[in-house]
Amino acid sequence: MVAEECDEDQIDISSTRNMKDPFQIPSSSAYEIQRTGPTCEFDSDLQGTYRIQDDTSKSTARRRPKAFSSLTSSFQQREPVKYKDLFIGPTSIPQWGDCSRKNSSRYVLGSKQGSVGYCYRCFLIVQRTPNILQVINNDESACFPTIAIAQRSCADREKISAHEGTFLWRSENVHYQFCPVGGRANITYSLNRRTYCPFPVRLPSTIDNCQLGYRMDVTLNSCFFPIPDNFQMSLKCLGSWDAGRSGETFFAVYNSLTDEFRCGLFRDDRRRYGYATAALSNDSSCSSMLNSSTSGFETFTLFSDMDFDNVVGTKLSTFKAQCSFPKWLQADDWDTLMIIRDGLIDFYDQNNPDTMIKIKGKCHSIMTDDLPAKAIRRISTISMFMV
């Protein structure tokens, strides 16, 4: 009788629990015999090479930290984040097992145990951006002797939070995404609730993605010791996703200088209050010391750069808007588009990875196609003055 036909109530799986590492296949061979190879495939957009935070390699020795807190040796707030590589092939993840059964974004993976049986576990894999996967393994301490039992441990995508679980960071063929900053801003910078770079000051710290839409260039000025003036860093944006809470968005960046991935929360209130807030976790999770866009290991407040906005405004003022955008277009929930005011638009081309530069313009003319009743009016062509 094969394993899946066994009386599941009589199967003792207590010995499979209390695993120290949920992503390490246990060495025990006390499993029902169920020989199988890969019988399903991973979605093509999930496949590739990733990096995953390696919590097992943390050292007890105090080492100079990196990332934002690597400015001087005095910033000994945390240790560098260590990673290990993980590859998702068409039918297997070598470190976790072969794809044995797939149901939407839930995958049961099987791995051979010695010479007698298989260990099965269920992984919920959610693609948050083209570069980031969120992985949930509900019963982290258990391996199961059959596919059927493993399936019952699968997480429900509708019930998981946007920050829980383990995150995989694509390390090859990365498709960088537009940064949430959307322009230039003066900033304050705080680390562990202490403000090191205040605002307003004569020479403020700044952040912008004007040169490349997918890169946030940060310059820290007028900061307290030990941060030097004109300290510069660049963060490449890996994408963003809804945080499931009012007004906040998760975002992720890669710091090539320190070779670290960071997760953060962002809330943009610049149109309403003139500022935005952002916070970063202290590692490559989306939960460690990250509570909100105003409470994290590192926090930023972004204030609109009025001098920069005035320069752009002066250029735009030489052109007069010839039309108004329709009301349905003037929404706040577009990913790549913002209507600042009637006839004035910000947008960028997400499909142009070489620049992804934001473009400003004024409405010149609109040509529309009238669709049947109850259908959305589709804009065929928008002509604009550009700056």
Going residue by residue through the chain, which has 387 residues, state the pLDDT in tens, using 9 for 90 and above: 333 333 333 334 333 444 445 555 444 434 443 445 678 999 999 999 999 999 875 543 334 334 445 433 334 467 899 999 999 999 999 999 999 999 999 999 999 877 657 899 999 999 999 999 999 998 766 889 999 999 999 999 999 999 999 999 999 999 999 888 878 899 999 998 999 999 999 999 999 988 888 999 999 999 998 888 889 999 999 999 999 888 999 999 999 889 999 999 999 998 888 899 999 999 999 999 999 999 999 999 999 875 545 444 454 455 566 777 776 666 655 655 655 555 666 666 666 655 666 666 777 677 665 544 444 444 434 444 444
Instruction: Pinpoint the alpha helices (H) of 210-258.
Output: none
**Sign of the C-alpha dihedral, residues 152, 153, 154, 155?**
positive
Q: Note whether 237 and 248 are within 8 A (CB).
A: no
CA–CA separation, 3 vs 21, rounded Å?
26
Please tell me the pTM assigned to this model: 0.75
Cis amide bond preceding 200, omega within 30:
yes
The pLDDT assigned to 225 comes to: 80
Task: Give me the sheet containing 359-369, strands edge to edge.
Answer: 337-341, 344-347, 359-369, 378-386
In 3-state terms the chain splits into helix, strand, coil percentages (rounded to 5) of: 10, 40, 50
The pLDDT assigned to 27 comes to: 44
Instruction: Pinpoint the alpha helices (H) of 282-381.
Output: 306-317
CA–CA separation, 363 vs 319, rounded Å?
10
Q: Chain-centre distance of CA 331, in angstroms?
A: 24
The pLDDT assigned to 57 comes to: 59
What are the C-alpha distances in Å from 382 to residues 86, 118, 342, 386, 387?
45, 59, 14, 12, 15
The pLDDT assigned to 115 comes to: 65
The pLDDT assigned to 157 comes to: 93
The pLDDT assigned to 311 comes to: 45
